Amino acid sequence: KDTELSALYARALQTYGSWVACTRTEHAQQIMDKYLIPAVDISDNDFKLVSAITLARYADSEYQTLLNYIKSSAYTSKMKSISESLNSAQKLTKAVEVTKKSTDIDRQTRIDLQKSINMHDKQSKIDQTEVENAQRELDNFLILAVRHYMLS
């Protein structure tokens, strides 16, 4: 009876995971972690193949989507923006150092320069984190796809 219940639960996870993937109502990693991977893990031999293929195809699809984004002009622009933002922050930091020695520049200008530096730094860090996450997800999707294609 437990095996029947496990098989039914595995089918439910796989079916629901496929539905959530089609509707894109959850993040791809959550879909795999909450539904598709557990479906493979608890499936019996008869249904394990179907679950593994579903997971492999989904991971492969997400890999291809992310790879296309990484090859896109939007991603290239983001990389250029990161570089420009870092350069701007460095230039502004040098400007602040120069203004500290100068008596011609008022306190508010120095504060504004520091705010601008902070803004550029924060935006660069946000963009850099996004780039790192994209690469990490790309690697993860590839590993999952290959591993589960091999199971099937």
Q: What is the pLDDT of residues 101-146, one digit of tens each?
A: 766 677 777 788 888 888 888 888 888 898 899 999 999 999 999 9
Q: What is the per-residue pLDDT across 4-18, written as a single tens digit (0 to 9) for each?
A: 888 899 999 999 999
Q: Is residue 50 part of a domain?
A: yes
Amino acid at 23: T
Helices (H), the chain: 2-23, 28-31, 37-42, 45-70, 73-101, 107-151
110 and 125, same structural domain? yes
* pTM of the shown model: 0.79
90 and 48, same structural domain? no
Residue listed under structure tokens 């963009």: 127
109's tokens? 């200008």
109 and 125, same structural domain? yes
75's tokens? 């991603």
How far is the C-alpha of 32 from the C-alpha of 44, rounded, in Å?
18
1 and 40, same structural domain? yes
Total count of domains within the chain: 2
- Which of these, 137, 150, 146, 126, lies nearest to 67 by C-alpha position? 137
Q: Is residue 31 part of a domain?
A: yes
Give the range of the structural domain holding residue 52, as residue numbers without chain letter: 1-71+145-151
